[in-house]
Amino acid sequence: MKSIYTFIFMSLTILMTISKSYGHDNFPVLKGPYLGQNPPGKVAEVFAPGIVSTQYFEAFGVFTPNLKEFYFVRGGEKNKKHTLVVIKYENNRWIESVVAPRVGEPFISPDGKIMYLGKKYMERTDSGWSEVKILGVPFEEIRIMRLTASSKGIYVFDEATKDGNGALRYSRLVDGKREKPKILSKEINTGKWNAHPFIAPDESYLIWDGEREDGYGESDLYISFRQKDASWGPAINLGNNINSQFEDAFGSVTPDGKYFFFYRTVSPGNLDIFWADAQFIETLRPK
Protein backbone atom coordinates (compact mmCIF):
# COMPACT_ATOMS: atom_id res chain seq x y z
CA MET A 1 0.00 0.00 0.00
CA LYS A 2 2.92 2.35 0.61
CA SER A 3 3.41 2.67 -3.15
CA ILE A 4 -0.14 4.01 -3.49
CA TYR A 5 0.49 6.65 -0.82
CA THR A 6 3.68 7.74 -2.59
CA PHE A 7 1.81 7.96 -5.89
CA ILE A 8 -0.88 10.16 -4.38
CA PHE A 9 1.70 12.57 -2.91
CA MET A 10 3.18 13.00 -6.39
CA SER A 11 -0.15 13.13 -8.22
CA LEU A 12 -2.00 16.17 -6.88
CA THR A 13 -1.11 18.66 -9.59
CA ILE A 14 -3.22 21.04 -11.66
CA LEU A 15 -5.75 19.16 -13.76
CA MET A 16 -6.16 19.81 -17.47
CA THR A 17 -9.73 20.71 -18.34
CA ILE A 18 -9.76 19.84 -22.02
CA SER A 19 -10.23 16.16 -22.83
CA LYS A 20 -8.20 14.66 -25.64
CA SER A 21 -9.48 11.55 -27.39
CA TYR A 22 -7.12 8.82 -28.44
CA GLY A 23 -7.20 5.32 -29.83
CA HIS A 24 -10.80 5.41 -31.06
CA ASP A 25 -9.93 3.34 -34.11
CA ASN A 26 -8.48 0.60 -31.91
CA PHE A 27 -11.03 0.80 -29.11
CA PRO A 28 -13.51 -2.10 -29.28
CA VAL A 29 -17.16 -1.48 -30.01
CA LEU A 30 -18.94 -1.72 -26.66
CA LYS A 31 -22.68 -1.30 -26.25
CA GLY A 32 -25.03 -1.53 -23.31
CA PRO A 33 -24.66 -0.53 -19.65
CA TYR A 34 -21.40 -0.91 -17.75
CA LEU A 35 -19.29 -0.93 -20.89
CA GLY A 36 -21.31 -3.86 -22.20
CA GLN A 37 -19.84 -6.23 -19.60
CA ASN A 38 -21.67 -9.28 -18.28
CA PRO A 39 -22.84 -8.61 -14.71
CA PRO A 40 -20.74 -10.23 -11.97
CA GLY A 41 -21.98 -12.50 -9.21
CA LYS A 42 -21.13 -12.64 -5.51
CA VAL A 43 -17.45 -13.36 -6.13
CA ALA A 44 -15.47 -10.34 -7.32
CA GLU A 45 -14.32 -10.41 -10.95
CA VAL A 46 -11.97 -8.26 -13.00
CA PHE A 47 -13.89 -5.42 -14.62
CA ALA A 48 -13.62 -5.12 -18.40
CA PRO A 49 -10.45 -7.23 -18.79
CA GLY A 50 -8.22 -6.04 -21.62
CA ILE A 51 -10.29 -2.85 -21.95
CA VAL A 52 -10.05 -1.21 -18.53
CA SER A 53 -7.98 -3.70 -16.54
CA THR A 54 -4.67 -4.70 -18.13
CA GLN A 55 -1.26 -5.90 -16.94
CA TYR A 56 -0.45 -2.35 -15.82
CA PHE A 57 -1.90 0.12 -13.28
CA GLU A 58 -5.67 0.74 -13.30
CA ALA A 59 -7.41 1.94 -10.15
CA PHE A 60 -9.87 4.43 -8.61
CA GLY A 61 -12.83 3.60 -10.86
CA VAL A 62 -16.09 5.57 -10.45
CA PHE A 63 -19.27 6.09 -12.50
CA THR A 64 -21.28 9.29 -12.83
CA PRO A 65 -24.88 9.12 -11.52
CA ASN A 66 -26.30 8.65 -15.03
CA LEU A 67 -23.90 5.71 -15.54
CA LYS A 68 -22.75 7.14 -18.87
CA GLU A 69 -19.22 8.10 -17.80
CA PHE A 70 -16.65 5.86 -16.13
CA TYR A 71 -13.53 7.55 -14.73
CA PHE A 72 -10.38 5.73 -13.60
CA VAL A 73 -6.62 6.23 -13.34
CA ARG A 74 -4.28 4.33 -15.66
CA GLY A 75 -0.51 4.00 -15.47
CA GLY A 76 2.26 2.00 -17.13
CA GLU A 77 3.34 1.52 -20.73
CA LYS A 78 2.49 4.80 -22.56
CA ASN A 79 0.84 6.26 -19.43
CA LYS A 80 3.99 6.42 -17.29
CA LYS A 81 2.84 9.54 -15.43
CA HIS A 82 -0.57 8.08 -14.52
CA THR A 83 -3.53 9.47 -16.39
CA LEU A 84 -7.15 10.18 -15.58
CA VAL A 85 -9.18 8.39 -18.25
CA VAL A 86 -12.89 8.54 -19.00
CA ILE A 87 -14.95 6.10 -21.05
CA LYS A 88 -18.18 7.81 -22.13
CA TYR A 89 -21.35 6.43 -23.67
CA GLU A 90 -21.91 8.49 -26.82
CA ASN A 91 -23.81 7.73 -30.01
CA ASN A 92 -24.83 4.29 -28.74
CA ARG A 93 -21.30 3.13 -27.95
CA TRP A 94 -18.54 3.63 -25.38
CA ILE A 95 -15.63 5.91 -26.33
CA GLU A 96 -12.38 6.30 -24.37
CA SER A 97 -10.55 9.61 -23.94
CA VAL A 98 -7.92 11.18 -21.70
CA VAL A 99 -9.00 13.83 -19.19
CA ALA A 100 -5.65 14.75 -17.65
CA PRO A 101 -2.24 13.45 -16.58
CA ARG A 102 -1.03 13.03 -12.99
CA VAL A 103 -4.24 13.36 -10.97
CA GLY A 104 -5.57 12.32 -7.57
CA GLU A 105 -8.33 9.88 -6.69
CA PRO A 106 -11.65 10.88 -8.29
CA PHE A 107 -15.04 10.76 -6.60
CA ILE A 108 -18.25 12.02 -8.22
CA SER A 109 -20.77 13.65 -5.88
CA PRO A 110 -24.19 11.95 -5.67
CA ASP A 111 -25.77 14.73 -7.75
CA GLY A 112 -23.03 14.50 -10.38
CA LYS A 113 -22.13 18.18 -10.11
CA ILE A 114 -18.69 17.88 -8.48
CA MET A 115 -15.64 15.71 -9.04
CA TYR A 116 -13.58 15.62 -5.87
CA LEU A 117 -9.83 15.00 -6.13
CA GLY A 118 -8.66 14.89 -2.53
CA LYS A 119 -8.71 18.49 -1.34
CA LYS A 120 -9.19 19.75 -4.87
CA TYR A 121 -12.32 19.57 -6.99
CA MET A 122 -13.94 20.49 -10.31
CA GLU A 123 -17.51 21.51 -11.00
CA ARG A 124 -19.64 20.25 -13.87
CA THR A 125 -20.27 22.86 -16.54
CA ASP A 126 -22.23 22.89 -19.80
CA SER A 127 -19.02 22.09 -21.68
CA GLY A 128 -17.49 19.55 -19.29
CA TRP A 129 -15.56 20.24 -16.09
CA SER A 130 -14.41 23.56 -14.65
CA GLU A 131 -10.86 24.49 -13.77
CA VAL A 132 -9.45 22.89 -10.63
CA LYS A 133 -10.47 24.57 -7.39
CA ILE A 134 -9.24 24.18 -3.81
CA LEU A 135 -11.45 23.22 -0.87
CA GLY A 136 -9.39 25.51 1.34
CA VAL A 137 -10.14 26.00 5.03
CA PRO A 138 -10.31 23.79 7.04
CA PHE A 139 -8.67 21.11 4.85
CA GLU A 140 -5.42 22.68 3.67
CA GLU A 141 -3.18 21.04 6.32
CA ILE A 142 -4.44 17.49 5.74
CA ARG A 143 -2.93 15.30 3.02
CA ILE A 144 -6.18 13.93 1.64
CA MET A 145 -6.12 11.08 -0.86
CA ARG A 146 -9.81 10.24 -1.22
CA LEU A 147 -12.71 12.47 -0.20
CA THR A 148 -16.30 11.31 -0.61
CA ALA A 149 -19.56 13.11 0.08
CA SER A 150 -23.09 12.09 1.01
CA SER A 151 -26.24 13.53 -0.53
CA LYS A 152 -26.49 15.91 2.43
CA GLY A 153 -22.93 17.10 1.93
CA ILE A 154 -21.09 15.32 4.73
CA TYR A 155 -17.45 14.78 3.74
CA VAL A 156 -15.59 11.64 4.79
CA PHE A 157 -11.91 11.47 3.91
CA ASP A 158 -8.54 9.95 4.75
CA GLU A 159 -5.09 11.24 5.63
CA ALA A 160 -1.89 10.13 3.93
CA THR A 161 0.95 9.74 6.42
CA LYS A 162 4.38 8.17 6.06
CA ASP A 163 3.70 5.57 8.74
CA GLY A 164 0.24 4.73 7.39
CA ASN A 165 -1.56 5.60 10.62
CA GLY A 166 -3.58 8.56 9.40
CA ALA A 167 -7.12 8.77 10.74
CA LEU A 168 -10.36 8.84 8.79
CA ARG A 169 -12.29 12.05 9.39
CA TYR A 170 -15.64 13.66 8.60
CA SER A 171 -16.88 17.21 8.19
CA ARG A 172 -20.49 18.37 8.17
CA LEU A 173 -22.22 21.40 6.75
CA VAL A 174 -23.61 23.41 9.67
CA ASP A 175 -25.70 26.47 8.81
CA GLY A 176 -24.13 26.50 5.37
CA LYS A 177 -20.56 26.45 6.69
CA ARG A 178 -18.07 23.58 6.64
CA GLU A 179 -17.15 22.53 10.19
CA LYS A 180 -13.65 21.62 11.33
CA PRO A 181 -12.95 17.94 10.50
CA LYS A 182 -13.47 15.45 13.31
CA ILE A 183 -11.90 12.03 13.71
CA LEU A 184 -14.24 9.06 13.29
CA SER A 185 -14.68 6.62 16.16
CA LYS A 186 -12.42 3.70 17.10
CA GLU A 187 -14.81 1.32 15.31
CA ILE A 188 -13.41 2.86 12.12
CA ASN A 189 -9.93 3.98 13.14
CA THR A 190 -8.45 0.72 14.41
CA GLY A 191 -5.45 -1.13 12.99
CA LYS A 192 -3.42 0.75 10.38
CA TRP A 193 -3.54 1.99 6.79
CA ASN A 194 -7.17 3.06 7.16
CA ALA A 195 -7.85 4.81 3.88
CA HIS A 196 -10.09 5.40 0.84
CA PRO A 197 -13.47 5.82 2.59
CA PHE A 198 -16.81 5.69 0.82
CA ILE A 199 -19.85 7.16 2.55
CA ALA A 200 -23.21 5.91 1.29
CA PRO A 201 -25.33 8.68 -0.25
CA ASP A 202 -27.91 8.22 2.56
CA GLU A 203 -25.10 7.92 5.17
CA SER A 204 -26.36 4.52 6.31
CA TYR A 205 -22.97 2.84 5.94
CA LEU A 206 -19.28 3.56 5.49
CA ILE A 207 -16.79 1.44 3.53
CA TRP A 208 -12.99 1.76 3.74
CA ASP A 209 -9.84 -0.34 3.58
CA GLY A 210 -7.29 -1.06 6.28
CA GLU A 211 -5.04 -3.66 7.86
CA ARG A 212 -6.39 -5.57 10.87
CA GLU A 213 -5.63 -8.84 12.61
CA ASP A 214 -8.76 -10.46 11.17
CA GLY A 215 -7.72 -9.65 7.57
CA TYR A 216 -6.93 -12.05 4.75
CA GLY A 217 -3.50 -10.64 3.92
CA GLU A 218 -2.67 -7.06 3.04
CA SER A 219 -5.33 -4.35 3.29
CA ASP A 220 -8.93 -5.56 3.34
CA LEU A 221 -12.22 -3.78 2.74
CA TYR A 222 -14.55 -3.20 5.71
CA ILE A 223 -18.02 -1.82 6.29
CA SER A 224 -19.67 -0.16 9.27
CA PHE A 225 -23.39 0.58 9.52
CA ARG A 226 -24.93 3.66 11.11
CA GLN A 227 -26.71 2.78 14.37
CA LYS A 228 -30.03 4.16 15.61
CA ASP A 229 -28.18 6.54 17.92
CA ALA A 230 -26.18 7.85 14.91
CA SER A 231 -22.97 6.14 16.07
CA TRP A 232 -21.03 3.74 13.86
CA GLY A 233 -21.33 0.00 14.41
CA PRO A 234 -18.42 -2.46 14.52
CA ALA A 235 -16.24 -2.90 11.46
CA ILE A 236 -17.26 -5.93 9.40
CA ASN A 237 -14.80 -7.56 7.01
CA LEU A 238 -16.39 -7.90 3.56
CA GLY A 239 -15.29 -11.53 3.40
CA ASN A 240 -13.38 -13.68 0.95
CA ASN A 241 -15.77 -13.06 -1.95
CA ILE A 242 -14.28 -9.55 -2.01
CA ASN A 243 -11.03 -9.61 -0.06
CA SER A 244 -7.94 -11.63 -0.93
CA GLN A 245 -4.37 -12.17 0.25
CA PHE A 246 -3.44 -9.09 -1.80
CA GLU A 247 -4.17 -5.40 -1.31
CA ASP A 248 -7.91 -4.78 -1.77
CA ALA A 249 -8.86 -1.11 -1.57
CA PHE A 250 -10.87 1.90 -2.78
CA GLY A 251 -14.33 0.37 -2.53
CA SER A 252 -17.51 2.10 -3.64
CA VAL A 253 -21.04 1.26 -4.75
CA THR A 254 -22.34 2.33 -8.13
CA PRO A 255 -24.97 5.11 -8.15
CA ASP A 256 -27.75 2.63 -8.92
CA GLY A 257 -26.76 0.51 -5.93
CA LYS A 258 -26.22 -2.63 -8.00
CA TYR A 259 -22.46 -3.20 -8.02
CA PHE A 260 -19.45 -2.84 -5.78
CA PHE A 261 -16.20 -1.60 -7.35
CA PHE A 262 -12.68 -1.67 -5.90
CA TYR A 263 -9.09 -2.28 -6.97
CA ARG A 264 -6.71 -5.12 -6.17
CA THR A 265 -2.93 -5.17 -6.40
CA VAL A 266 -2.43 -8.37 -8.38
CA SER A 267 1.37 -8.07 -8.56
CA PRO A 268 3.94 -5.25 -8.17
CA GLY A 269 2.89 -2.46 -10.53
CA ASN A 270 -0.23 -4.34 -11.65
CA LEU A 271 -3.46 -3.01 -10.15
CA ASP A 272 -6.79 -4.12 -11.60
CA ILE A 273 -10.32 -2.84 -11.07
CA PHE A 274 -12.75 -5.50 -9.79
CA TRP A 275 -16.51 -5.55 -9.36
CA ALA A 276 -19.13 -7.72 -7.67
CA ASP A 277 -22.85 -7.81 -7.00
CA ALA A 278 -23.50 -5.32 -4.17
CA GLN A 279 -26.29 -7.36 -2.60
CA PHE A 280 -23.83 -8.55 0.05
CA ILE A 281 -24.24 -5.17 1.76
CA GLU A 282 -27.83 -5.98 2.67
CA THR A 283 -26.75 -9.44 3.82
CA LEU A 284 -24.25 -7.86 6.23
CA ARG A 285 -26.59 -5.11 7.43
CA PRO A 286 -27.73 -5.79 11.02
CA LYS A 287 -31.39 -6.76 11.24
Say which residues have a Cβ less than 8 Å from residue 180's Cβ, sequence separation at least 6: 138, 171
C-alpha dist (Å) from residue 75 to 56, 83, 119: 6, 6, 22
What is the average pLDDT across 31-46?
Answer: 96
pLDDT band at 80 (very low <50, low <70, confident <90, very high): low
What is the average pLDDT across 188-200?
Answer: 94
Say which residues have a Cβ less than 8 Å from residue 103's Cβ, sequence separation at least 6: 11, 12, 13, 15, 73, 82, 83, 84, 117
3-class DSSP assignment, residue 114:
strand
Q: What is the pLDDT of residues 2-27, one digit of tens each?
A: 444 433 333 333 233 323 333 445 78
Domain ranges of the chain: 2-284
Q: What is the pLDDT of residues 157-186, one digit of tens each?
A: 999 987 878 899 999 988 888 999 999 999
Give the C-alpha separation, 62 to 273, whole Å: 10
Phi, psi angle pair for 149, to nearest 5°: -135, 145
- Sign of the dihedral through C-alpha 53, 247, 65, 181: negative
Domain covering 2-284 in this structure, CATH number: 2.120.10
Which pLDDT does position 163 carry in this prediction? 80
Say which residues have a Cβ less than 8 Å from residue 32's Cβ, sequence separation at least 6: none
Say which residues have a Cβ less than 8 Å from residue 112's Cβ, sequence separation at least 6: 64, 65, 66, 124
**What single letter denotes the amino acid at residue 83?**
T
Please state, for a pLDDT cut of 70, what percent of the chain lies above it: 90
Say which residues have a Cβ less than 8 Å from residue 188's Cβ, sequence separation at least 6: 168, 194, 206, 208, 224, 232, 235
What is the average pLDDT across 60-81?
Answer: 89
